[in-house]
Chain A
């Protein structure tokens, strides 16, 4: 394996390969074609950041621009999924979930259950998450904990191009609604990605780095921050094991617990706000199921309980940094009873 492509190209390739493989796969969302109806402008954009660029030319009407009405087109995608299509619907920013949440948590997530297993809703909702893009409070949040809290939804947060492609193909082939969260800052990250189609099963965390002294659980962009911190810490003699969750629902409890059993220490890093977050969820899990293995209190590194600041200087301080992870790890390592 040697070809390197970006996170963004990996997502585009997954969509492309699945559309070629299965004609029931369709894409809908705001500007996913871009410039529709204007002379010479078709396929100009491919989403606000160009993720779906090039697909309209190949698949024509199977990729459609929608009006700026999330409640309408997300509902349409959910309905189309129940009727046999496999829509990949783009909710431009996860921050916009508010206007279409009923369609997701009260409809899509409930059909299989309420129809006694006879209904399937194979819809994927791709959506951008995360701060660092100077896009202010309404376009920068990490709201995946809200989706993770809803039974019936699967929630995917890839951290690298290889995982993005394999997890998105898995999401499209999955028969349940999947919320697929793409961190904007990761779009330009490059990594080795095979040209063949492949899948990564949900509920299997990745050990991004093996270590012995402390477990650092992270997800999405935070995996990169954790790896950078682990690098810094290793020169000081602290060996961090970095666990990349990949999916928050289903959650790979086994890998987290096994790692903590080996290291006896835990730091959870999550870009979401601190209350009712993935960080609190993992901390509660470990406190409950691996308490006897813990040698020190659990530490959490998260964004503060504030909106994402518009000021660039403040936004930089808002995002958990490698330095803040290093401090948290050191404080856990220094703990003595």
Chain B
């Protein structure tokens, strides 16, 4: 295969993605693309995202049409870097399609990419990607799991070893929590590092995971090389308690959809599959109690945030804070008074789940500081 013809194929976002649905091409045939240019919107089982050009060149042919559901690796289009005849492109497509074999489903006992580890008497599920010298640990927020990083983990793993864990009470980790405080959860992160032999790491935390990252840095500063916080808890007092309560009590698709739509600026991102996944999680034994216990620790009876880590942040150099301007859970103005110690990026037009809604922008910012 000549390098002058490049196949654009269905990306794999997150460990569980097996296929994606082509929503809409954002560029037309013949468009000249730079690396990072938005090409096509793709919807996964979880959420939709924009697929950006990985190479520069001319989009000579669009193969996949809107509404097509294709397995990962399937041909979406053809990029060319020099003048190539239509016949050659047609031959390339024909050859690709003739040789393309959809990936086999994961091995019998499921996804090898996930692993479990005993940490402080919890069974913690995590995944590890990449083998770079630097370590990154991704810490999700309240009610989330490591899937919150499905657009983040793989891109960052090009430059570092990236771990994403399910906190106790979340995902597929142990649901019964002995210490549901932010401090207790931060200790789990430290023990997780001990168990996996991670001496130092760059912690990236979203929402409550941001507070846990800050608390981890406070408990054992030398082990945290850097903090990157996305719409974090712990830098101000306001928090949307109504959302927390709605999420904890949601027991139908309607209630859950309404709650999840608070998390994003574009309510259409909350598809049925995301709603179902969250309901499945909520209906697991022990989850409701765990969520209530955690919420009662980081939120006061008055409905404000219980912890403030501004001091921790100012004591650490090299931190970054990313926020969506339309965050309906924790207001983005919490980053107004952060001073020089942190670089602040407010992404216009996105909500609380900014790393999913504006995955490419957030990844670019994160890759810059690794």
A residues within 8 Å of B by Cβ? Answer: 1-4, 166, 192, 194-201, 204, 207, 210
Central interface residue in B108, B111, B172, B283, by most chain A CB within 10 Å: B283
Q: Which residue of B lies closest to A195 (CB)?
A: B172
B283 touches A166 (CB 8 A): yes
Query: Are A197 and B16 in contact, CB atoms less than 8 angstroms apart?
Result: no
Interface residue ranges of B237-293 to A (CB < 8 Å): 251-253, 272, 280, 283-286
**Pick the contact of A197 from B172, B253, B280, B285 — CB < 8 Å?**
B285
Closest residue of B by beta carbon distance from A170: B283
Q: Which residues of chain B are near A201, meaning CB under 8 Å? A: 251, 283
Q: Which residues of B contact A195 (CB under 8 A)?
A: 172
| Residues B39-72 near A (CB distance < 8 A) | none
Interface residues of B (CB under 8 A from A): 16, 106, 108-111, 114, 172, 175, 251-253, 272, 280, 283-286
A46 to chain B, nearest CB (A): 23
CA distance A154 to B175 in the complex (A): 30
Contacts of B272 in A (CB 8 A): 207, 210
User: Can you list 17 residue pairs at the A/B interface with Cβ under 8 Å?
Assistant: A1-B16, A1-B172, A1-B280, A2-B106, A2-B111, A4-B109, A4-B110, A192-B110, A194-B280, A196-B175, A196-B286, A198-B285, A199-B283, A199-B285, A201-B251, A204-B252, A210-B272
Q: Please, which residue of chain A has its CB at the minimum distance from the CB of B253? A: A204
Q: Which residues of A contact B284 (CB under 8 A)?
A: 194, 196-198
Bound Cα distance A2, B106 (Å)? 9
Extra A-B contacts (19), CB below 8 Å, given A196-B285, A198-B285? A1-B16, A1-B172, A2-B16, A2-B111, A2-B114, A3-B110, A4-B109, A166-B283, A192-B110, A194-B280, A195-B172, A196-B175, A197-B285, A198-B280, A198-B283, A200-B283, A201-B283, A204-B252, A210-B272
Q: How far is the CA of A204 from the CA of B283 in the complex (A)?
A: 13
Q: Which residues of B contact A210 (CB under 8 A)?
A: 272
For residue B271, give the distance in angstroms from its CB to the closest CB of chain A: 9
| Distance A3 CA – B116 CA, assembled complex (angstroms) | 13
A-B contact count (CB 8 A): 39
Centre residue among A1, A192, A197, A204 by max chain B CB count within 10 A: A1
How close is B108's CB to chain A, nearest CB, in angstroms? 7
Residues in B with CB closer than 8 Å to A192 are 110
Contact of A3 among B16, B109, B175, B283 (CB under 8 A): B109
Inter-chain CA distance A246–B283, complex, in Å, is 16
* Chain A residues whose C-beta falls within 8 Å of the C-beta of B114 in the assembled complex: 2
Q: Which chain B residues lie closer than 8 Å to A3 at the CB level?
A: 109-110
Secondary structure dominating the interface of A? loop
Query: In the complex, what's the smallest C-beta–C-beta distance from A273 to chain B, in angstroms?
Result: 32
Q: Smallest CB–CB gap between A225 and chain B, Å? A: 20
Residue from B106, B108, B114, B253 with most neighbouring chain A CB atoms (10 Å): B253
Least Cβ distance of A336 to chain B in Å? 25
Q: How far is the CA of A325 from the CA of B252 in the complex (A)?
A: 30
Minimum Cβ distance to chain B for residue A260 (Å): 17
A21 to chain B, nearest CB (A): 8
* Residues of chain A contacted by B286 (CB below 8 angstroms): 196
- Complex Cα distance, B286 from A199, in Å, reads 11
Rounded to whole Å, the gap between the CB of B299 and the closest CB of chain A is: 26
| Chain B nearest CB, measured from A167 CB (Å) | 11
**What residue in chain B is nearest A255 (Cβ atoms)?**
B253
Residues of B within 8 A of A4 (CB): 108-110
Are A194 and B110 in contact, with the CB atoms below 8 A? no
Establish whether residues A194 and B283, one from each chain, have CB atoms under 8 Å apart when the complex forms. Answer: no
Q: How far is the CB of B252 from chain A (nearest CB, A)?
A: 7
Distance of A234 from chain B, by nearest CB (Å): 9
- Select from chain A the residue with minimum beta-carbon distance to B286: A196
* B16 shortest CB reach to chain A, Å: 7
A87 CB to closest chain B CB (Å) equals 21
4 smallest beta-carbon distances between A and B, as pairs:
A2-B110, A2-B111, A197-B285, A198-B284
Closest residue of chain B to A190, judged by CB? B108
Residues on B with C-beta less than 8 A from A1 are 16, 172, 280
- A178 CB to closest chain B CB, in angstroms? 17
Contacts of B252 in A (CB 8 A): 204
Q: How far is the CB of B19 from chain A (nearest CB, A)?
A: 13
Bound Cα distance A196, B171 (Å) = 11
Expressed in whole angstroms, the minimum distance between the Cβ of B95 and any Cβ of chain A is 24
> B113 → chain A, closest Cβ, in Å?
9
User: In the complex, what distance in Å separates the CA atom of A293 from the CA atom of B108?
Assistant: 45
Known: A2-B16, A2-B114, A4-B108. A194 touches B285 (CB 8 A): no
Chain A: which residue is nearest B282 at the CB level? Answer: A198
User: In the bound complex, what is the Cα–Cα distance between A4 and B106 (angstroms)?
Assistant: 10
Q: Among B109, B251, B272, B285, which residue has the most Cβ atoms of chain A within 10 A?
A: B285
By a CB distance below 8 angstroms, the chain A residues around B283 are 166, 198-201
Give Cα distance in the complex from A3 to B108, angstroms. 8
Instruction: Compute how far the CA of A56 lies from the CA of B3 in the bound complex, rounded to whole angstroms.
Output: 64
Residues of B contacting A204 in the complex (Cβ-Cβ under 8 angstroms): 252-253
Question: Which residue of chain A lies nearest to B280 when distances are taken between CB atoms in the complex?
Answer: A198
For A197, the chain B residues whose CB sits under 8 A away are: 284-285
Q: Which residue of A lies closest to B110 (CB)?
A: A2
* Neighbouring A residues of B280 by C-beta, 8 Å: 1, 194, 198
Task: Note all chain A residues with C-beta closer than 8 A to B175.
Answer: 196
Complex-state Cα separation, A192 to B253, whole angstroms: 20
- Residues of A within 8 Å of B285, CB to CB, are 196-199
State A192–B172 Cα separation when bound (angstroms).
Answer: 13
How many angstroms between the C-alpha atoms of A197 and B176 in the bound complex? 13
Contacts of B111 in A (CB 8 A): 2
A303 CB to closest chain B CB (Å) equals: 31
Assuming the A-B contacts A2-B16, A201-B251, are A196 and B172 also in contact, with contact meaning beta carbons closer than 8 angstroms in the complex?
yes
- CB neighbours of A196 from chain B (8 A): 172, 175, 284-286
Q: Which residue of B lies closest to A2 (CB)?
A: B110
Distance in angstroms between the alpha carbons of A267 and B111 in the assembled complex: 37
CB distance from B201 to the nearest CB of A (A): 25
- Interface centre among B106, B175, B251, B280, by most chain A C-beta atoms within 10 angstroms, is B280
**Whole-angstrom CA separation of A2 from B110 in the bound complex:** 5
Cα(A310)–Cα(B91), bound, Å: 54
Q: How far is the CA of A197 from the CA of B110 in the complex (A)?
A: 18
Q: What chain A residues lie within 8 Å of B172 (beta carbons)?
A: 1, 194-196
Cα–Cα, bound, A166→B282 (Å): 12
> Bound complex: CA of A171 vs CA of B109, how far in Å?
28
Instruction: Tell me, in angstroms, the Cα distance from A210 to B108 when the chains sit together.
Output: 28
Which residue of the partner chain A has the closest CB to B174?
A: A196
